[in-house]
Structure 1
Amino acid sequence: MLKIISIALFILLTLQSCSFGSKPVKKQASFPAWVSNPPNDTSSKIYGTGSGFSPVEAKEAALKDISGKLITKISSQSKSEISQFNDSVARSATQNINTSTVATQLSNYKVVNSTQIGDKLFIQLSISRSEFIKTTTSQLKELDDKIKSTLRSASRKTKLQQLIASQNLRPTIDKARTLVRLLQAAGGTQNTDKYLAYYNDIIRKTNDLLYAVRFRVSSNASLNGFAQHLVTLLHNKNISASMGSKGRADAHIQISGNIKTSTAFSQHMSQLTVNIKISDKNNRVISVREYESSGSSTTDSNSASSSAIKSMGAQFKNNGVLASLGLLENSN
C-alpha cells in the first residue's frame, strides 16, 4: 500500500513540475498573402501596402509605398537627364521631389484589401495608371498655361519686371516638372521630354536674366556702410550692383533711414532703421520695405553700428536677398 502511495505521489509531483516549467504557446498572427507577398504592379495598376494604428495611418503608409515606387523611377530618369544636360538645373528640381510631394498627387486610389491583425490595420491600395495619367496631364496643362501666360505678359515689360516675374514663376515651374516626372514614372511619355526641355530653358534664361540685371544702390551718408554691405550681398549672388545715384541701371535701390547710437554702463548700442525703395529704369516704384536691427559693442559706437549692419545683413542673407528687397513672392 505504501509503495502505491509513493508511486502516485511521484507521478503527481512530476506532473506539477512539468506544468510549472512549461509556458503557454502564443498563437502566431497569420498574415494574408497580399501583406506577406504583395502583388507586382501591372501595366494598368500600381499597388501599395501599408499599416498603422488607424485607417488614416495605414492609408498614408500605403500611399507612400506607391510614391516610393514612382520616386525610384523618377530618380533613375533624373540621372539620365543630369548626364544629358551636365548642369544643376535637373538636379535641383529633382531634389525637391519626395514621397510626401508625390503622395499629394495620388487621389484616385481604391482600397483593394484591408485586415486587422492585433492592434494594427493593414490596407492595400491601387491606382489606375490611365486615370492617374489623365488627372496629372490635366493639372500639368493648367500649370503650363499659367507659365506661358506669365512669360508672354512679362516680355513686354522692363528687364527688372521680367526678372521678378520669372523668379516668382520658379515654384510653379518646379511643380510642373514634378508632374512631368510623375507622368513618365507612371508610363505616360507623350510630350514629356518637350515639357522638360522647355522648363529647363526657362530656368536657364531666368538665371541669365538674374545676372544681366544691373542694380544701382544709393543712400544718405549715415547709411553708406549698410549700402556697401548690401552691394556685397548682391555680388555674392553674382548679381551686378554698384554704388551711386546716377548712371545706367535696370533698377535703383534707394536707401533712407537712420542709425542711432547710445551708451549705457560702458556698453555702446546702435539702432539701425532702413527704408528701401526699388524702382525700375522708368522710375516706376516696384517695392518699398522697412527693416530694423540693433547691435552693441564694448569698444566704441562705430563697432556697435557695424554690429547692427551685420545683423541686418544676416537677416537678408537668411531670408534671401531678392526676397528681402521685395522682389520675390517666395523665398527659398
Structure 2
Amino acid sequence: MESNKYALSIPLVLAFFTAFCFAGNIPEWVVNPAEDSAELIYGVGEGESLNTATKSALEYIAGKLVTSIESQLTMQTSAVNDRVDSRVQSKLRSQIGNTLISGYDIDVSDKSGKRYFVRVKVDRQKLFESNNKALQNALAFLSQYLGDNTTMSVMQVLKQERMLNKSLREAQQKAYVVQALAGSSQVAASQQKINQYQQVLTNKLNDLVVYVEASQDLQPLARQLVERLSDEGVRATTRKPSGKSPRVVLQGRFNKTVRFEQKYVVANTSIDVYDEFSNTLSSRQLRIDGQAYMSHESAITAAINKASQELAEDGVAESLGLL
C-alpha cells in the first residue's frame, strides 16, 4: 500500500496542477512539466511560499527516484527493543528527498495569487557522484570497526555504537540514491558490505559480556555494578567467562576505625577497565567510605551503597569508561 501511494504521487500532483489551472493563471511549465534528459531531472512544486514550493518540487523528484527502484524494494524486518517492526523500504523516499537539498538549482519560479510555483533541476552526474562518494566514505568508516581486518575491540565498537548505526543508515540511504540513478548492479557490492556490517555489529553487541571482578572487600560493589550495568543495557557478570571478555577490575581494602563508638571504614579503590585484548581503556581512583553505629559490617554496607549510587549518577557504564 505504501509503495502504491508513492507510485501514484506523481500523476496525482499533475492532476492537481491541471485542475488548479482552471482557477488561476498557472504557468505552462507546471501544467506540462519538462521531460527528464540524460543529464537532468526536473521537478515541479507549489506552495504558500517559495520554500514550500521548492520542497514540493524536490519531493516530486524523490518520488521519481523511488519509482525507478520500487520494483526492487522488499519488505525489511528489523528488531527494535525486542519487538519486530516490519516496514517498507520505500519509506526512504523522504530521506532521498533530503539528499537533494544541497544539489539542485531553481530553474524557474512564478507566483499566481497566493500560490508559488517552482521548477527545480538536478544534475544526474553530480547527484550520482556526491551520493556515491558519501556512500564510500560511510563504508570506509564502518570498515574500521566492523571490517574483516579490523583491530578494534568490542568495547571500541560499543563506544561508537550510535555513530556506527548512523553511518549504516546513511550508507543505506546513499546506496538507494545511487541505485535509482545507475541501477542495482552499481551498488551490489556496497549493499553486500552494508548487510555484512549490520550483521557484524549486531553479533558483536549481542555477544558482549563485561566481566566485573573485585577484591574480597569490594565484591558486594561488583554485584551492584553488574545489576546497574544490566539496567543500562550492558550485559555484565561477576562470573569469569570462559573466553576473552572486557573486564572491570576493582581493587581495594577497607580500613576500619572506631571513634566515639562510631564505626568508620574507608577503602582507596582503583577501578581499571580492559578490553578483551587486555589493553587498558581507563583507570580511576575512588575513595569509598562509610560509617555506622552498629558494626563495621554495617558501615561497609553503607559505603558500598554510597559508592554505587555515586557511580550511577552519570550512568555506571559512562562512569567506568565503558562508553
| Short-chain TM bin | 0.5 to 0.7
* TM-score normalised by length of structure 1: 0.59
- Which residue of 58, 61, 65 maps to 2:56? 61
Change (3 A) 1:221 1:75: farther
SS at match of 1:130: helix
Matched-pair contact (CA < 8 Å) for 1:217–1:231: no
Q: Is the 8 A contact 1:73 1:185 kept in 2?
A: yes
Query: Given the superposition, is the C-alpha separation of residues 66 and 116 from structure 1 closer, same or farther in structure 2, using an over 3 Å criterion?
Result: same
> Do structure 1's residue 229 and structure 2's residue 224 form an aligned pair?
no
Computing the radius of gyration from Cα coordinates, the structure with the larger value is: 1
What is the alpha-carbon distance in structure 2 between the residues aligned to residue 158 and residue 136 of structure 1?
30
Rounded to whole Å, the distance in 2 between the matches of 1:70 and 1:32 is 25
1:111 corresponds to 2:109: no
**Aligned residues of 1:231 and 1:243 also touching (Cα < 8 A):** no
1:33 corresponds to which of 28, 41, 44: 28
Partner of 1:45: 40
Deviation at 1:30, TM superposition (A): 1.8
- Give the alignment partner of residue 179 of structure 1, picking from 174, 186, 194: 174
CA RMSD of aligned residues (A): 4.8
Structure 2 portions without partners, runs of 5+: 1-21, 252-269, 286-300
- The alignment's TM-score, normalised by the length of structure 2, stands at 0.60
Go from structure 1 to structure 2 and tell me whether the alpha carbon gap of 1:87 and 1:103 turns closer, same or farther (over 3 Å shift). closer
Identical counterparts, % of pairs: 21
> Pairwise mapping of residues 306-325 of structure 1 onto structure 2 (< 5 A)?
none
Change (3 A) 1:138 1:192: same
Q: Secondary structure at the match of 2:92?
A: coil
Q: Residue 102 of structure 1: CA displacement? A: 3.4
Contact 2:179/2:186, CA 8 A, preserved across alignment: no
Deviates more, 1:134-143 or 1:66-75: 66-75
**Residue pairs, 1:92-241, within 5 angstroms:** 94=89, 97=92, 99-100=94-95, 102-151=97-146, 155-161=150-156, 164=159, 168-218=163-213, 220=218, 223=221, 226-230=224-228, 232-233=230-231, 239=235, 241=236
Alpha-carbon contact 2:175-2:191 (below 8 Å) kept = yes
Report the Cα distance in structure 2 between the residues aligned to 1:60 and 1:109, rounded to whole angstroms: 11
Structure 2 distance, partners of 1:201, 1:226, is 36
Cα distance change, pair 72–314 in 1 and its aligned pair in 2 (3 A): farther
Local SS of the residue matching 1:29: coil
Deviations 1:277-319 (A, max 9, x none): 63224553425799xxxxxxxxxxx9xx99xx99x98986xxx
Q: Are 2:248 and 2:272, in contact at CA under 8 Å, matched by a contact in 1?
A: yes
Maintained 8 Å contact 2:223/2:238:
no
SS, match of residue 97 in structure 1? helix
Taking the aligned partners of 1:63 and 1:276, their CA distance within structure 2 comes to 54
Which residue of the partner structure matches residue 279 of structure 1?
A: 274
The answer for the alignment partner of 1:243 in structure 2 is: 238
1:70 aligns with 2:68: no
Q: Distance in 2 between matches of 1:246 and 1:134?
A: 48
Deviations 1:116-140 (A, max 9, x none): 1113321111213233213322332
Mapped partners of 1:289, 1:184: distance in 2? 50
CA spacing shift, 1:77–1:57, aligned 2, 3 Å: same
| Distance change >3 Å, CA 79–CA 281, structure 1 → 2 | closer
* 1:176 partner SS: helix
Unmatched segments (≥5 aa) in structure 1: 1-26, 257-274, 291-301
Aligned-partner Cα distance in 1 for 2:231–2:149? 26
Query: Per the alignment, do residues 225 and 184 of structure 1 end up closer, same or farther by CA in structure 2, a change over 3 Å counting?
Result: same
- Is the alpha carbon distance of 1:52 and 1:314 closer, same or farther for their aligned partners in structure 2, counting shifts above 3 Å? farther
